[in-house]
Amino acid sequence: MSDTAANLRAQFPLLAAAPELHYLDSAATAQIHRAALDAVVSHETTRRANVMRGTYRLAEAADLAYEQARQSAARFLNAGSAGEIVFTPGATASLNLVAHAFGSTLKAGDRVLVSVAEHHSNFVPWQMLRDRCGIELAPIPVGADGRLDLTRLSELMGDRCRLVAVTQCSNVTGAWTDVATIVAAARKVGAKVLLDGAQAVQHGPQDVRAMDIDFYAFSGHKCFGPGGVGVLWGRAEALARMPPFLGGGGMIAEVTPEASTWAAPPQRFEAGTPPIAQAIGLAAALDWMMTLDWTAIREREDALCQQLIEGLARIPGLRLLGPQHAHHCEARAPIVSFDIPDLHPHDICQVLDAQNLALRGGHHCAQPLLAALGAEACTRASIALYNGEADIEALLAGLDRARRELA
């Protein structure tokens, strides 16, 4: 089947059932692909059982499917092994896991770098770690276009930097991070690098080994899979040195009244019953994504993003946040945020909703970034592989109507 937007859209049950809907909020939650939904239903109706618990056939089938899901995630990320994949409830949980587990190996005076462009999920946990154990937290600033300003990166790191935790792609501006420059600087001082890949994964498979990073986090619901599941990838040697985050069943080697010892990763970080069906559904989504022509999809996403940016430029007074052009590998992903003077984003989104347009308005859990860009809130349109020119045309027409109704 051709990877045209129409053919792809037909593979998403909600979109196929609602042809009138212009869904432009995939940065918040992408729609679930039919293969992922079918995989969840199949698991729950044919092999529902707990994993790592039973010796009967149903439980063994669940074990096999769950571990195969781990292998799918490893292939999607080009991980060294499936043992480097930890399933979590989502990217937020993955980032908190690193902040607590890796953070427990740090001491007062050690430095962690984050950026002003981070989602709160990759900002607040490090503030909490700072308050808990006295690390130094240094923010990397952003320029006027929302991209990270790396001119003082070495100075910010100093000689006590232990980790750089940054977004791969901003959920507000769509700006891509210059990962190679950050990794090169981090290696000079022996620091590790964590990437929040939540906004990158829906735009194609990733290569954590080529990026030479140490941790990578993402959520299933951002890449056409179920909600309630995420992935933390970590280098095997890094995970092995980290203590567990949560305690309970499944993450121990032995428990006595006096003490406990831990299982090896990844089980060490998967206390209790994991999101089994969700992980299996995510694997189906990732396997499907790996069959697609991503060069063609990215070219189409870029063209739609440029169409939108050019249309927005014709609206008097509108301010575009982030890079002013669309080139996927150079400047921005197809995430477009804008501010129209005297019109609140929530009001804009409500008027658009009446026209079957789904966008998001607010601070997008990125208040430090919006403050740096001189905005309190903005309206965001995010483009995914199932969007087409009709969605962009409808949005531009809808904004004209919103401006008339809200003036």
DSSP result, 220-279? GGGTTS-SS-EEEEE-HHHHHTSPPSS-STTSEEEE-SS-EEEPPTTGGG--SS--HHHH
Catalytic residue among 223, 305, 349, 365: 365
Q: Is 137 exposed, middle or buried (0-12, 13-18, 19+ CB in 10 A)?
A: middle
CA distance 5 to 84: 34
Say which amino acid occupies 405. E
Give 393's contacts (C-beta < 8 A, 6+ positions apart). Answer: none
Tokens read off for 209: 């080994």
Residue 374 gets the label, from left (phi > 0), alpha (psi -120 to 50) or beta, of left
Distance of CA 372 to the CA centre of its chain: 22
Going by C-alpha positions, the residue among 130, 293, 124, 280 that lies closest to residue 203 is: 293
Q: Is 255:236 a contact under the CB 8 Å cutoff? A: no
Strand partners, 248: none
Beta-carbon-side half-sphere exposure of residue 370 (alpha carbons within 13 Å): 20
Q: Based on the residue annotation, tell me whether 365 is a catalytic residue of this protein.
A: yes
The Cα–Cα gap between 289 and 204 comes to 7
**Amino acid identity of 281?**
G
Which residue carries 């995630």 as its tokens?
73
Instruction: Name the one residue in this structure whose structure tokens are 């937007």.
Output: 5
3-state secondary structure 120-136: HHHCHHHHHHHHHHCCE
Counting every residue, how long is the chain? Answer: 407
Tell me the catalytic residues: 365
